[in-house]
Amino acid sequence: MSKTKPTDNNSLPFLETKKSVAKVLNNYIQTSKDCKGNVLVQKSPQEIAEELNLKELFEKGFKDLTDLESFIKIYLKHTNHLRNPRYVGHQVAVPQDLSGIPDWIHGTINNPSSLYEMGPSGATLEGFMINWMLSKLNWFKGNDLYDFSNHKDNGSGTLTHGGSIANMTALSAARAKIAPESWMEGSPKDLVVMGPSTSHYSIVRSLSIMGMGKNSFIPVPVDTNEVIQTEALENIYAQIKKDGKRVMAVVANACATSTGLFDPLNKMADFCKKHQLWFHVDGAHGAVALLSKKNKHKVNGIKYADSIIWDAHKMLRVPALCTAVLFKQQEDQWNSFHQKGSYVFHENEVVGIDSMPYTIECTKSALGTKLFWSFALEGKKAISLFVENTFQQAQDLYTYLNERIDFYCPYIPQSNILCFQYCPDKLSNIQQLKLRYALINSGKFYITSCEINGERFLRTVLSNPLTQQEDFIAMANTIKSLAEALFFEKRQ
């Protein structure tokens, strides 16, 4: 027997500690919102590790509350401040101020939601939110969102840690449909997947992981703004058949990660219906258009899909990660993983909803609670308004940049993503990229960049309700002066 027994006592008092953390976070939120301080200052990992005093804390722990508080303050200093209105970077939700509460509760009770008996509340909230998402697609056949039974022709779905896993889940279900023997015997060699050449990389990566190989993805050409050319579908399909292959799924972008433009889902749905092909809509970013009366038409045809994915941590203000993978026919989900572990799947005795049989993950966090919370904080309407506003922000930025002669926008935005170039007649692709780094290293703004058809663009994703016209003007002017300092000064 060891002399010192482990204890289950925190050395720090619960309530007092939470209160002091809340105070520090509140200050973080307010200063970020007020645009005080930089969006991002990047130090090297060595510098951050030293400033945080990681080695000592790791050995000895926090001495007292002051110790912990100072750690959190330094930690927060070295973060990307998403709440700063001049953060217009990646497709990552700017959360509501109180979005962190479900993570706090989960972190305190640790009830994974994939087995009902390990967390009935979390699993119920997941079931409820899935019902609601299905109802948005007309795939819910219950009488009311509290109806968790398996109605005939019902849709179904589950929440996963992210869109990449969700895409793989949907593709596995598509394979189980066309080639159920794959689960035992491996993938037949004649299966291919068609989709825009600009499909998210997680599609091809899933196919590789599933043992089908990268080459099983048959890219369909896209137009200059990376939207699928539906006219090409028939010819490519004919060639696939001629080569003796079978199409396991057709994938659509709704919307494309780079440009935020939507593939014409109706046309793709018609094509899939005609040839009886599985239709998968990658709605990671844009499925949210379903919530906006004004923007719904952009995903017309989505309800004809067999499967869709929808990221809540991009556009529904949910902190990472939370994605839904949804199926029009529940049987398709039931059949996707033919694997039984006797300790978890005892169908006849279980109460409630177990999502475990249908997920790649085993343990997962209470994702439904996070998703529900987003709505519960302000009510459903506020989320729709938020979505509509982000789409409008991209329009406004477009209108502003399009009026300036020194900026070029290649398309009218359809979502909250907008790409542009500064003086494309004078600056090369490499120089556009250099501008992006100069801008983010200034700490004043955070934007991303992408390639569209091999050309480099600056890219913004608008998802902060506080970002407004004056920020657009300041951003454009900062880009201009950086470009002058970097590329034009010598000539003057």
Ligand X SMILES: *Cc1c(COP(=O)(O)O)cnc(C)c1O
Where do contacts with ligand X occur on this chain (CB under 6 A)?
91, 162-164, 167, 200, 202, 253, 257, 282, 284-285, 311, 323
DSSP E strand stretches across 115-203: 156-160, 191-196
Whether residue 115 has a cis bond before it, omega within 30° of 0:
no
Closest approach, Cβ 416 to ligand X, in A, equals 12
Closest approach, Cβ 253 to ligand X, in A, equals 6
Toward ligand X, which CB reaches closer, 38 or 416? 416
Toward ligand X, which CB reaches closer, 32 or 323? 323
Toward ligand X, which CB reaches closer, 134 or 256? 256
CA R_g for the chain? 24
Residue 258 and residue 448 in contact, taking contact as beta carbons nearer than 8 Å: no
Closest approach, Cβ 204 to ligand X, in A, equals 11
Closest approach, Cβ 59 to ligand X, in A, equals 35
Ranges of H-type helices in 276-424: 312-315, 330-334, 367-378, 380-403
Closest approach, Cβ 286 to ligand X, in A, equals 8
Closest approach, Cβ 21 to ligand X, in A, equals 27
Cα-based distances in Å from 141 to 144, 158, 300, 406: 9, 16, 20, 53
Toward ligand X, which CB reaches closer, 306 or 354? 306
Report the residue closest to ligand X, judged by CB. 163
Closest approach, Cβ 316 to ligand X, in A, equals 12
Which backbone phi and psi does 372 adopt, to 5 degrees?
A: -60, -40
- Least Cα distance to 374 among 365, 385, 363 occurs for 385
Toward ligand X, which CB reaches closer, 279 or 472? 279
Closest approach, Cβ 284 to ligand X, in A, equals 4
3-state secondary structure of 229: coil
Spatial distance between the Cα atoms of 481 and 361, rounded to a whole number of angstroms: 48
Return the structure tokens found at 77.
């200093």
Toward ligand X, which CB reaches closer, 325 or 356? 325
Beta bridge partners of 419: 459
DSSP codes of every residue in 65-79: HHHHHHHHHHHHHTS
Residue 309 and residue 170 in contact, taking contact as beta carbons nearer than 8 Å: yes
Which backbone phi and psi does 233 adopt, to 5 degrees?
A: -60, -50
Closest approach, Cβ 324 to ligand X, in A, equals 11
Residue 170 and residue 176 in contact, taking contact as beta carbons nearer than 8 Å: no
Toward ligand X, which CB reaches closer, 81 or 285? 285
What's the start-to-end Cα distance of the chain, in Å?
Answer: 80
Toward ligand X, which CB reaches closer, 257 or 432? 257
Closest approach, Cβ 314 to ligand X, in A, equals 6
Toward ligand X, which CB reaches closer, 285 or 328? 285
Toward ligand X, which CB reaches closer, 227 or 284? 284
- Least Cα distance to 313 among 280, 355, 284 occurs for 284
Return the structure tokens found at 477.
């002017």
Instruction: Give the length of the chain.
Output: 492
Q: State the CB neighbour count (10 A cutoff) for residue 408.
A: 16
Closest approach, Cβ 456 to ligand X, in A, equals 19
Toward ligand X, which CB reaches closer, 169 or 257? 257
CA angle 57, 62, 66 (to 5 degrees): 125
Toward ligand X, which CB reaches closer, 200 or 436? 200
Residue 320 and residue 326 in contact, taking contact as beta carbons nearer than 8 Å: no
DSSP codes of every residue in 72-122: HHHHHHTS--TTSTTB--SS-----TTTTHHHHHHHHH---SSSGGG-HHH
Angle between helices 380-403 and 469-483 (to 10 degrees): 40
Return the residue matching tokens 């092909």. Answer: 277
Closest approach, Cβ 349 to ligand X, in A, equals 34
